[in-house]
Amino acid sequence: MLAVITGTELARPYLIKIAIDEHILAISAPMRAFAPREAPGPGVLFRGKVFIREKNLSASALSQAPTYQLIQYDQQFYLIKGLILNPGTDKYLIKKENGGYWLHREALDKGEEKYEATPVTSAEIGLFREKDNRALLKLSLVFFLIAIVGFIFNYLQVNLLQATSQRIIHNMRIEVFTHLQRMPLAFFDQNPTGRLVTRVTNDTDTLNEMYSSVLINLFRDLFMVMGAALIMIKMNFRLALLSLAVLPVIIGAAVIFRRYARKAYRIVRTTLARINATMAEN
């Protein structure tokens, strides 16, 4: 059950990543244009040519057709014959010259570059976005189903943990109370009633918190870290290793924090036990 919950929590951001990178921002992905009879696969038929994104083509097909790209400039989409590596950040200018539109871009190593630009209407943009829209709809449904599954399993987990922890604490309190009843009268003369009451109630509540929250969060966080690490390695091995390089520093900081936190928490628990004993006594 915990593995399913962790899987749903990891799947949701990964689906969002796919939706953004491969469909929402893919409108500016490089494409190759083919004659209708020479197209190596399905694409978008636009003004007598079939446009297919480069990621869907083989290496041999990439060398057989010119490169095109859709970019947005001043609230208008243009089909560029060429490739702008970073259309969102590169500086360029589109203006009308000699009855047509041209994109002017300053390249550091080549000087000014000039690309032919064709205005594309909103209806024509819909042709290029049609497959992406269908894919986004499917991803949305999958995301919604995963969210429902995660909610159901999380609900079942919370109820199961609460029922189990309450059963454990119930048995523990009965055993402690039964043990107290067997103690001699001298024991009750040496220990205030408030201290005994807080041992049976408040201290067992602390154990309940450990069973219902601490342990489950520990294993869930561990699975989350392992799952995130696997996804990062799959996406970019070098970047994942660079990110994981700081893991020893984090572990060291956690060990140091635990050492001091344990001492402080022990003092807090002791003081709280005294306060609870005094309140129960009075």
Assess if residue 170 is contained within a domain.
Answer: no
Assess if residue 176 is contained within a domain.
Answer: no
The predicted-structure confidence for 35-94, as pLDDT tens digits, reads as follows: 888 888 888 888 888 998 888 888 777 777 888 888 888 888 888 888 876 665 567 788
Angle 193-200/247-281 helices, nearest 10 degrees?
140
Residues 117 and 206 in one domain: no
Domain end residue (candidates: 86, 107, 130): 130
Specify the pairing of strand 67-73 against strand 31-34. Answer: antiparallel
Q: Does the structure show a pLDDT above 80 at 110?
A: no
Assess if residue 100 is contained within a domain.
Answer: yes
> Looking at residue 109, what is its pLDDT?
54
In whole angstroms, give the CA distance from residue 177 to residue 132.
66
In whole angstroms, give the CA distance from residue 256 to residue 267.
18
Question: What tokens appear for 104 in the block?
Answer: 């002017």
Residues 114 and 197 in one domain: no
Q: Which of 105-109, 185-189, 205-209 has the highest mean pLDDT?
A: 185-189
Residues 12 and 102 in one domain: yes
Phi-psi region of 99 (alpha: psi -120 to 50; beta: other; left: phi over 0): left
Domain that holds residue 75: 2-130
Q: Does the structure show a pLDDT above 70 at 280?
A: no
Give CA 221 to chain center in angstroms: 13
Domain end residue (candidates: 130, 164, 182): 130
Assess if residue 245 is contained within a domain.
Answer: yes
Residues 109 and 198 in one domain: no
Residues 101 and 200 in one domain: no
Assess if residue 152 is contained within a domain.
Answer: no
| Lowest mean pLDDT, pick from 129-133, 216-220, 251-255 | 216-220
Q: Does the structure show a pLDDT above 70 at 12?
A: yes
* Mean pLDDT (whole number) for 13-25: 89
Domain end residue (candidates: 109, 130, 151): 130
Assess if residue 203 is contained within a domain.
Answer: yes
Residues 17 and 126 in one domain: yes
Assess if residue 153 is contained within a domain.
Answer: no
Residues 218 and 119 in one domain: no
**CA-based nearest residue to 47, from 68, 62, 61:** 68
Q: Is the pTM of this model over 0.75?
A: no
Residues 206 and 106 in one domain: no
End-to-end CA distance of the chain: 45
Residues 114 and 203 in one domain: no
In whole angstroms, give the CA distance from residue 16 to residue 179.
56
Assess if residue 142 is contained within a domain.
Answer: no
Count how many domains the chain has: 2
